[in-house]
């Protein structure tokens, strides 16, 4: 079992334990249970971001030490794919929690956040994606968007 699989299994166990505790304790503890679970999710995300930043910093330091001047793409297919998968996996519990706690409003807030994070990631990895490219038309050319 890889490290990511073990962490996913651990998070699923935490979610199941939270849901079971909610059933046993009742609605009066729902907010505290949700807060506790979300804190664990936040810690997981913070840890992943910290590891990624440390890795990128180490790579930059190694490139600087080597005197590398070649341009490296901002990310790889694997990073983009992984980000998309994590977004979808996190969307499930966030949708359930948002919808369960605040109904349709909570569900909308959860999905606005998920979409927002993905738009920011897309803008970071593809800076020209949201810029409109206008150039004057030459004879025989068409406008490009």
Alpha-carbon torsion 33, 37, 40, 46, what sign?
negative
End-to-end, the C-alpha distance of the chain in Å comes to 46
Examine residue 29 and state whether it is found in any structural domain, yes or no.
Answer: yes
Q: Based on the domain organization, do 51 and 104 belong to the same domain? A: no
pLDDT at 133 over 60: yes
pLDDT at 145 over 50: no
Same domain, 19 and 64: yes
Looking at 72, 93, 119, the residue that finishes a domain is 72
Provide the number of structural domains found in the chain: 2
- Are the beta carbons of 121 and 52 closer than 8 angstroms? no
In a domain, 138, yes or no: no
Within-domain flag for 139: no
Count of Cβ atoms closer than 10 Å to residue 93 Cβ: 19
pLDDT of residue 141: 52
Indicate whether 82 and 96 sit together in one domain.
yes
Domain encompassing residue 80: 74-128
Residues 107 and 119 in one domain: yes
Looking at the structure, do residues 47 and 3 belong to the same domain, yes or no? Answer: yes
Is 134 inside any structural domain?
no
- Name which of 97-101, 120-124, 127-131 the model is least confident about: 127-131
């Amino acid at each position: 079992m890889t490290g990511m699989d073990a962490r996913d299994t651990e998070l699923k166990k935490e979610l199941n334990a939270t849901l079971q505790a909610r059933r046993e304790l009742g609605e009066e503890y729902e907010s505290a249970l949700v807060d506790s679970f979300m804190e664990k999710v936040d810690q997981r995300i913070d840890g992943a971001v910290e590891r990624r930043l440390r890795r990128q910093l180490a790579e930059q330091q190694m490139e600087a030490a080597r005197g590398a001047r070649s341009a490296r793409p901002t990310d790889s297919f694997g990073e983009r794919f992984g980000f998309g998968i994590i977004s979808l996996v996190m969307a499930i519990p966030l949708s359930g929690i948002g919808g369960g706690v605040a109904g349709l409003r909570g569900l909308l807030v959860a999905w606005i956040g998920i979409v927002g994070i993905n738009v920011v990631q897309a803008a970071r990895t593809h800076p020209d994606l949201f810029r409109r490219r206008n150039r004057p038309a030459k004879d025989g050319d068409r406008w490009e968007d």
